[in-house]
Amino acid sequence: MIVPTYNGGSTWNRCAEALARAVAGRPHLSVLVVDSSSHDGTAETARRHGFDAITIDPADFNHGGTRNLAAGAAQAEFLVFLTQDAIIQGPESITELLAAFRDPKVAAAYGRQLPHPDANPVAAHARYANYGTAGHVCGLDDIPRCGLKAAFLSNSFAAYRTAAFRQLGGFPDQTILGEDMYFAARAILEGFLIAYVPSACVWHSHNYSVAEEFRRYFDIGVFQSEESWIGERYGGAGGEGLKFLKSEFSHLARHAPLWLPRAWLGDLAKILGYRLGKQHRRLPPGLRRACSMHRRYWEEGAAPRPR
């Protein structure tokens, strides 16, 4: 199991405790933490729980490249990725996730993400809407029906068949985010399957501000622009965006009506951020960095890639 970390704080403490319980007594499971030189004791927390931990320079971190670094040293049949703020519900979550690989065509599988207890109504709805109770497997035949959603995959809690991971070249070494979707999109086009396993659960959510929503979706737009082949091969999300908005407004109107204005502002920020990110090459370098959540990506030599 591979966990990239950086100043994980109290949430990482809870994640590490849950992870230690999940792997206890299971010698076939090992945990590797790749820490970007945290100064809050994150790496020490990992070692205290018996995990292997390596430290890298923060300037060397990249969502794809850092995970490739960790995966390259693994000798296991499967690679399980977890983020530092995703808390595993129990040992059965790992077991259920790995059970998806009984189908030899499955290259990757991801679990269900439930909101943290402190999630606000907007964040909670996003998790319930995007991670439902019905499992599914997506492949080439599902692209006409699902569009871009066919290639959805989340490294907050996901497992990969190591042989397929290496056959497909792993993740892109330089990407602002979306290394998981990049892999899923390639895997499906090569004839593999991507599985969603709702019985494999973690608690994982973010109470983003409106500004953070804008910056995150700016980065998503950048990713879609840099990896335009994904949109060309998969098309759009098949009306999923409008479906989500209707679901969000209906949910909040019933359960948290005072949050409706905040939801509207957040959704507007997402749309504006995404559209601006898609046009990032037209922006001055300083503005690109200011609009981005992952600002280190824009440092010299990192982006954007030439065409």
Residue 14 makes CB contacts below 8 A (sequence gap 6+) with 87
CB atoms under 10 Å from CB of 48, counted, come to 13
Fold of domain 2-203? Spore Coat Polysaccharide Biosynthesis Protein SpsA; Chain A (3.90.550)
Q: Tell me, yes or no, if the pTM score tops 0.75.
A: yes
Angle between helices 240-255 and 121-130 (to 10 degrees): 130
Q: Alpha-carbon distance 96 to 111, whole Å?
A: 9
Q: Alpha-carbon distance 1 to 98, whole Å?
A: 12
Q: Would you place residue 241 in the very low, low, confident or very high pLDDT band (cuts 50, 70, 90)? A: confident
Cα 199 to the chain's mean position, in Å?
Answer: 18
Q: Is the pLDDT of residue 118 over 90?
A: yes
Q: What is the pLDDT of residue 307?
A: 41
Domain residue extents for the chain: 2-203, 210-298
Any alpha helices (H) in 49-120, and if so which ranges? 65-72, 91-99
Measuring CA to CA, which residue among 9, 2, 179, 12 is closest to residue 82?
A: 2
For the stretch 282-305, pLDDT in tens is: 999 999 999 999 999 998 545 554
Q: Would you place residue 240 in the very low, low, confident or very high pLDDT band (cuts 50, 70, 90)? A: confident
